[in-house]
Amino acid sequence: MPVITIRGQYGSWSAEIGELIAHKLNIDYVDREIIAGVAERLRRPSTSITEKEMPPSTLMGRISEAMARTAYLGDSINAGIYSPLWEIPLDDTNYLSGLESVIKELAGSQSIVIRGRGSQFILKDIPGAFHVLIVAPVEVRVKRVMERLKLNEEGARKEIARFDDGSREFVKRYFKANIADPINYDIVINTNHLNIEGAASIIVDAVPWLSD
């Protein structure tokens, strides 16, 4: 069952590339924002929200079911799963169990592109999983973040530092690994001279089970 994990430096276009890969392959794409959206809908007072708006056959239904299976670990676990990396409770020993459960549930139920959340480490031994790292020079990322978030240079650099620091500490704490070590990935793409379409096409062409 094809599974692609993708993570990238802030401003490297990893989210856009991940979404385009999923579109090209006609499979689901999931990231923190999508999981957060499902969680917010689950918090509504309606008891039939899952049946009406998130049937099991849909991506949102699969996410809600995966999150429900981690409920026994406590609300803080599900909250951490979709929180920004710098807000994750790094001293919570139960967090990783909940995170692994949700990621593995999603990867095991259908072909999917999963962005971030340590998915490259959680699924590293899953047959058929293909792991992607997206990078770009810091000056290029600063410019992109300035344009996207309408920030000045100082603000953009702070956002990049906050994201990069959070990612590094998250992976170091939970997976005892260096998030930037290329050995943890099957392919590393530098988007300095590539656009989103070009990067996505290279990755799709590189996935071995698509060329079999």
Highest mean pLDDT among 31-35, 85-89, 128-132: 128-132
Position 51 pLDDT exceeds 60: no
Pick the CATH number of 3-205 from 3.40.50.11060, 3.40.50.300, 3.90.470.10, 3.30.930.10: 3.40.50.300
CB 81 within 8 A of CB 98: yes
Position 36 pLDDT exceeds 70: no
Q: Confidence class of residue 90 from pLDDT cuts 50, 70 and 90?
A: low
Radius of gyration of the chain (CA): 17
Of the candidate ranges 79-83, 109-113, 139-143, 165-169, the one whose mean pLDDT is the lowest: 79-83
**Burial of 33 by CB count in 10 Å (0-12 exposed, 13-18 middle, 19+ buried)?**
exposed
Domain limits, the chain: 3-205
Instruction: Choose among 20, 60, 17: nearest CA to 42.
Output: 60
Q: Confidence class of residue 72 from pLDDT cuts 50, 70 and 90?
A: very low
